[in-house]
Chains A and B, each alone.
Chain A
Amino acid sequence: GAVVSQHPSWVICKSGTSVKIECRSLDFQATTMFWYRQFPKQSLMLMATSNEGSKATYEQGVEKDKFLINHASLTLSTLTVTSAHPEDSSFYICSAGAETTGGSNSPLHFGNGTRLTVT
């Protein structure tokens, strides 16, 4: 079946540094990728929708200058957390591919997530 590879699975960084998370679709082309953030015991919250070859669409309240998204190819999207702070510590999950249900794009294939800890 379709596989989405997310790397790294966990990362610890110092406050003020930047961290890049990669999301790759391994056996299919993904024109759309989604980035989610999940706090402990809370829902996955959509941060942004990444479209190949165009700018990402950010959800309300998500700082686009802090969470840089690049979707330069049909198989790779990256999320860069810039100038990370302890409050950015979270579990970040990507998904690739979407299935249109009515007028909505529902995410299909998920990565295993990245646990970010900022010290």
Chain B
Amino acid sequence: AQSVTQLGSHVSVSEGALVLLRCNYSSSVPPYLFWYVQYPNQGLQLLLKYTSAATLVKGINGFEAEFKKSETSFHLTKPSAHMSDAAEYFCAVSEGTGNQFYFGTGTSLTVIP
């Protein structure tokens, strides 16, 4: 069975500070991992995904995430937060078969000017 845990439903950072959004997964097989962003009143947008290639994955808008098997983690980071990064972020996991795709509960990112 798969599951995703996002630690911290709300994260606040100052503009220009490091962004760190945590995601831990549980999977019985090597997983595929994803990060999505949802801006207010909009749909979800794929930020990046891990598909068993490089463990450090670079996505759009300066975000990146590192797959750490030993820690079962796939944390999302960005070196310097922008005001436009304020949004809801969802981590998701798939075991690569069929359409079983599980989202975390989301983390709301607030950027303080």
Interface residues of A (CB under 8 A from B): 4, 6, 9, 34, 36, 41-46, 49, 57, 93, 95, 98, 101-113
Contact with A along B68-90 (1 / 0, CB 8 A): 00000000000000000000001
- SS class of chain A's interface: helix, strand, loop or mixed? strand
- Output the nearest chain B residue to A45 by Cβ-Cβ distance: B103
A32 to B106: give the CA distance in the assembly, Å: 25
Q: Are B52 and A102 in contact (CB under 8 A)?
A: yes
Q: Is B43 a contact partner of A104 (Cβ separation < 8 A)?
A: no
Chain B residues whose CB sits within 8 angstroms of the CB of A101 once the complex forms:
32, 49, 51, 94, 96
For B50, give the chain A residue with the smallest CB separation.
Answer: A101
Interface size class of B (residues with CB under 8 A): 20 to 34
Q: Any chain A CB within 8 A of the CB of B41?
A: yes
Interface majority SS on B: helix, strand, loop or mixed? strand
CA–CA, A103 and B95, complex, Å: 8
Q: In the assembled complex, which residues on chain A have CB atoms less than 8 Å from the CB atom of B92?
A: 106
Q: Which residues of B contact A (CB under 8 A)?
A: 4, 9, 32, 34, 38, 41-46, 49, 51-52, 90, 92, 94-106
Min C-beta distance of A2 to chain B, whole Å: 11
Per a CB cutoff under 8 Å, which of A43, A105, A108 touches B99?
A105
Q: Are B34 and A43 in contact (CB under 8 A)?
A: no
A102 and B42 alpha carbons, distance in the complex (Å): 28
Complex-state Cα separation, A112 to B42, whole angstroms: 5
**Are A104 and B9 interface neighbours, CB within 8 A?**
no
**Nearest Cβ on chain B to A96's Cβ, whole angstroms:** 10
Question: Beyond A104-B99, A106-B101: 5 further Cβ-contacts under 8 Å?
Answer: A9-B41, A43-B90, A103-B97, A105-B98, A106-B32
